[in-house]
């Protein structure tokens, strides 16, 4: 089982976004042959994207299916899975051993659920087989039991029993030729062994061996980056004598790394990337806020009065025409460019789309429609101001991290971008087999290709430990 050191991570990819299609095509035709997705990524549309790309490449004779290593995962009950599971429960025929973790977020690794999932996933992927199938964050069970104050030993006993039943089922899928091998993707492989939600690779391996001496448990996946460095710093295996990376390497278990460029820190999400930005002028920014707010007042107090709208429809417009107020009140409190970008995706972008839709549906006057379109343009300009403000802060942070890395890094690597340095450092650690980067744009693919075959950094582990400790100290 050989694959490229950099993999195409498909979290947040969607078959409906051509940019994602183009990026995956470029990656696969340029030497990146590892693809990682999950049933819940974009509610199944990520798997559909991969299926289309593979079909197009193989049909055109550019690649064969055997040239690629396809990884997907199952366990989450969200979106369409949640609606289906809820209906089964209402009918009195639920999936077994479902963890009802939160509203519209359940989790399950029972054989009946995995059978349903693999069938659906093969259909979405339009493939005969999956190379690597992973149980996706099974530690949700432990998190739930922790909230119920269940005795830790009792919870862990049930946890590994459930993993064992899942492994027994996955062995049948190997025999059927539906999957090549299997494993677990868990955020808690690298954490300290005394944490309630800790997933012990040692115990998982024992579980696999109890299922079959010739079992096909081959792969694990976990977070690892310059801040979340537990994979090389926490000795949590073999009576706390080995790290999870050392134990996996000693037992011929392949390791895939997720979140290499996006770290969850005490101060929020940190992206290991260089940032370019336009100069931020606060006076121009304040002027733009005032312009957008004046347009909002003009629209709501004067212009909309000439339309024949109900009181509820006017209120609906009022809830949308408020970008100026929201930015004015919150622009200094987004914290980071990563958090601001999330706010754009989750809050601002849907509201901007709603303005366009509502204007088209409810406004008849063409001049007012043009005014609404102009308002959206000015709102985008306002958001760009805020983005540049946080990019400026992020660039200073990235420069600081570059400096930390370069203190102990051979000079021949200094010209690499921060993302390239980060990926190469992680890929240079003994036992790390694949780095799953979120390379949804062709420019990101170009960035990753530069280090696809680069010489490994000999003191990578020491640099990672140093950087993680220094960042932790600076954040305190």
| 408 domain-assigned | no
The pLDDT tens digits of the residues spanning 228-254 come to 999 999 999 999 999 999 999 999 999
Work out the number of other CB atoms within 10 angstroms of the CB of residue 16. 11
| 35 domain-assigned | yes
Average pLDDT over residues 302-308: 88
Range of the domain at 93: 6-271
| 335 domain-assigned | yes
Average pLDDT over residues 394-415: 96
300 shares its domain with 372: yes
Residue listed under structure tokens 């134990």:
247
Q: Is the pLDDT of residue 195 over 90?
A: yes
Consecutive H or E run containing 203: helix 201-211
Average pLDDT over residues 300-308: 89
292 shares its domain with 242: no
Which stretch, 123-137, 260-274, 326-340, has highest mean pLDDT? 123-137
**Residue 471 confidence class, pLDDT cut points 50, 70, 90:** confident
Q: Is the pLDDT of residue 267 over 80?
A: no
190 shares its domain with 58: yes
Q: What is the DSSP string of 306-371?
A: GS---HHHHHHHHHHS-HHHHHHHHTT-S-SHHHHHHHIIIIIHHHHHHHHHHHHHH---HHHHHH
Distance between CA 411 and CA 402 in Å, rounded?
12
336 shares its domain with 238: no
Sequence-separated (6 or more) residues with CB below 8 Å from residue 149: none
pLDDT at residue 345 in the model: 86
Residue listed under structure tokens 């950094």:
457
318 shares its domain with 230: no
The pLDDT tens digits of the residues spanning 276-291 come to 888 899 999 999 999 9
| 248 domain-assigned | yes
pLDDT at residue 66 in the model: 95
Distance between CA 114 and CA 95 in Å, rounded?
10
Sequence-separated (6 or more) residues with CB below 8 Å from residue 410: 457, 458
Q: Contact at 8 Å (CB) between 439 and 445?
A: yes
Query: Which of 1, 46, 28, 27 lies closest to 183 in space, CA to CA?
Result: 1
Q: CA distances (Å), 127 to each of 48, 73, 131, 133, in order? A: 10, 15, 10, 13
Q: Cα–Cα–Cα angle for 61, 62, 64, nearest 5°?
A: 75
Average pLDDT over residues 437-457: 94
**Residue 15 confidence class, pLDDT cut points 50, 70, 90:** very high
pLDDT at residue 217 in the model: 98
pLDDT at residue 476 in the model: 54
264 shares its domain with 303: no
Return phi, psi of residue 253, to 5°. -100, 125
Compute and round to an integer the Cα radius of gyration of the chain. Answer: 25
Q: How many domains does the chain fold into?
A: 2
| 374 domain-assigned | yes
Average pLDDT over residues 168-187: 98
Q: What is the CATH number of the domain that holds 12?
A: 3.20.20.100
Q: What does the block give as tokens for 364?
A: 């008849």
Q: Is the pLDDT of residue 475 over 70?
A: no
Q: Beta partners for 181?
A: 132
Q: Is the pLDDT of residue 297 over 90?
A: yes
**Residue 326 confidence class, pLDDT cut points 50, 70, 90:** very high
pLDDT at residue 2 in the model: 87
Q: Is the pLDDT of residue 38 over 60?
A: yes
Query: Which of 249, 252, 262, 241 lies closest to 429 in space, CA to CA?
Result: 249
Produce one character per residue of 247-257: b if its CB has 16 or more CB atoms within 10 Å, e if not.
bbbeeebbbbb
Distance between CA 341 and CA 338 in Å, rounded?
5
Q: Is the pLDDT of residue 306 over 90?
A: no
Q: Is the pLDDT of residue 268 over 90?
A: no
Q: Residues of the chain with pLDDT > 90: what percent?
A: 91
The pLDDT tens digits of the residues spanning 354-390 come to 999 999 999 999 999 999 999 999 999 999 999 999 9
**Residue 264 confidence class, pLDDT cut points 50, 70, 90:** confident
pLDDT averaged over the chain?
A: 95
324 shares its domain with 254: no
Distance between CA 113 and CA 254 in Å, rounded?
26
Average pLDDT over residues 42-57: 97
Q: Is the pLDDT of residue 459 over 80?
A: yes
Which of 271, 300, 329 is the last residue before a domain boundary?
A: 271
245 shares its domain with 305: no
Distance between CA 193 and CA 188 in Å, rounded?
9
Distance between CA 339 and CA 337 in Å, rounded?
6
Q: Is the pLDDT of residue 175 over 80?
A: yes
Q: Is the pLDDT of residue 174 over 90?
A: yes
262 shares its domain with 288: no
Q: Is the pLDDT of residue 324 over 70?
A: yes
| 356 domain-assigned | yes
Average pLDDT over residues 88-110: 97
Q: Torsion angle, CA of 85/89/90/91, rounded to 10 degrees?
A: 100
Q: Contact at 8 Å (CB) between 76 and 107?
A: yes
| 207 HSE (CA, 13 A, CB side) | 24
Average pLDDT over residues 174-194: 98
pLDDT at residue 70 in the model: 98
Which of 379, 396, 413 is the last residue before a domain boundary?
A: 396
79 shares its domain with 188: yes
pLDDT at residue 269 in the model: 81
**Residue 308 confidence class, pLDDT cut points 50, 70, 90:** confident
Distance between CA 378 and CA 411 in Å, rounded?
45
pLDDT at residue 57 in the model: 97
248 shares its domain with 185: yes
| 151 domain-assigned | yes
**Residue 219 confidence class, pLDDT cut points 50, 70, 90:** very high
Q: Contact at 8 Å (CB) between 29 and 48?
A: no
13 shares its domain with 40: yes
Q: Which of 11-20, 128-137, 360-369, 465-474 has the lowest mean pLDDT?
A: 465-474
Produce one character per residue of 327-348: b if its CB has 16 or more CB atoms within 10 Å, e if not.
beeebeebebbbebbebbeeeb
Distance between CA 350 and CA 319 in Å, rounded?
13
Query: What is the pairing mode between strands 105-107 and 235-237?
Result: unpaired
Which of 239, 271, 303 is the last residue before a domain boundary?
A: 271
Distance between CA 187 and CA 76 in Å, rounded?
14
Q: Contact at 8 Å (CB) between 244 and 195?
A: no
| 443 domain-assigned | no
pLDDT at residue 231 in the model: 97
pLDDT at residue 142 in the model: 98
- Phi-psi label, residue 355: left if phi above 0, alpha if psi -120 to 50, beta otherwise: alpha
Q: Torsion angle, CA of 324/328/333/338, rounded to 10 degrees?
A: 30
Query: Which of 436, 389, 388, 396 lies closest to 418 in space, CA to CA?
Result: 396
Distance between CA 1 and CA 254 in Å, rounded?
9
């Amino acid at each position: 089982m050989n694959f490229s050191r950099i993999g195409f991570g498909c979290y947040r990819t969607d078959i409906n976004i051509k940019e994602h299609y183009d990026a995956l095509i470029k990656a696969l035709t340029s030497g990146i042959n590892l693809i990682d997705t999950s049933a819940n990524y974009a509610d199944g549309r990520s798997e559909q994207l991969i299926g289309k790309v593979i079909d197009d490449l193989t049909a055109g004779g550019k690649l064969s299916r055997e040239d690629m290593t396809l990884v997907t995962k199952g366990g989450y009950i969200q979106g369409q899975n949640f609606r289906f599971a809820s209906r089964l429960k209402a009918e009195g025929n639920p999936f077994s051993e479902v963890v009802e973790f939160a509203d519209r977020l359940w989790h399950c690794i029972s054989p009946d659920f995995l059978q349903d999932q693999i069938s659906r996933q093969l259909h979405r992927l339009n493939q005969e087989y999956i190379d690597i199938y992973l149980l996706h964050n099974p530690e949700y069970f432990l998190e739930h039991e922790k909230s119920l104050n269940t005795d830790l030993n009792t919870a862990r006993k049930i946890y590994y029993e459930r993993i064992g039943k899942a492994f027994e089922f996955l062995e049948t899928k190997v025999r059927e030729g539906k999957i090549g091998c299997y494993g677990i993707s868990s955020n808690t492989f690298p954490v300290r062994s005394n944490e309630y939600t800790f997933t012990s690779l040692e115990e998982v391996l024992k579980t696999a061996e109890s299922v079959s001496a010739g079992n096909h448990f081959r792969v694990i996946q976990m977070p690892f980056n310059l801040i979340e460095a537990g994979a090389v710093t926490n000795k949590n295996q073999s009576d706390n004598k080995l790290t999870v990376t050392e134990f996996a390497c000693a037992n011929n278990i392949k390791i895939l790394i997720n979140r290499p460029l996006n770290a969850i820190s005490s101060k929020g999400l940190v992206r290991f990337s260089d940032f370019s930005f336009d100069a931020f002028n606060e006076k121009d920014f304040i002027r733009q806020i005032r312009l957008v707010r004046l347009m909002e007042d003009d629209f709501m107090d004067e212009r909309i009065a000439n339309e024949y709208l109900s009181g509820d429809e006017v209120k609906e417009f009022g809830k949308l025409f408020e970008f100026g107020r929201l930015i004015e009140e919150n622009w200094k409190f987004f914290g980071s460019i990563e958090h601001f970008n999330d706010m754009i995706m989750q809050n601002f972008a849907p509201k901007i789309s709603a303005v366009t839709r509502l204007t088209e549906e409810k406004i008849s006057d063409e001049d007012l429609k043009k005014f609404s379109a102009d308002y959206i343009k000015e709102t985008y300009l306002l958001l760009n101001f805020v983005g540049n403000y946080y990019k400026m802060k992020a660039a200073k942070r990235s420069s600081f991290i570059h400096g930390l890395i370069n203190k102990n890094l051979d000079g021949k690597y200094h010209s690499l971008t921060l993302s390239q340095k980060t990926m190469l450092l992680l890929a240079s650690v003994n036992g790390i087999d694949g780095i799953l980067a979120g390379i949804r744009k062709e420019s990101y693919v170009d960035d990753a290709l530069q280090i696809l075959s680069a010489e490994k950094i000999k003191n990578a582990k020491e640099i990672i430990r140093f950087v993680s400790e220094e960042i932790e100290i600076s954040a305190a």
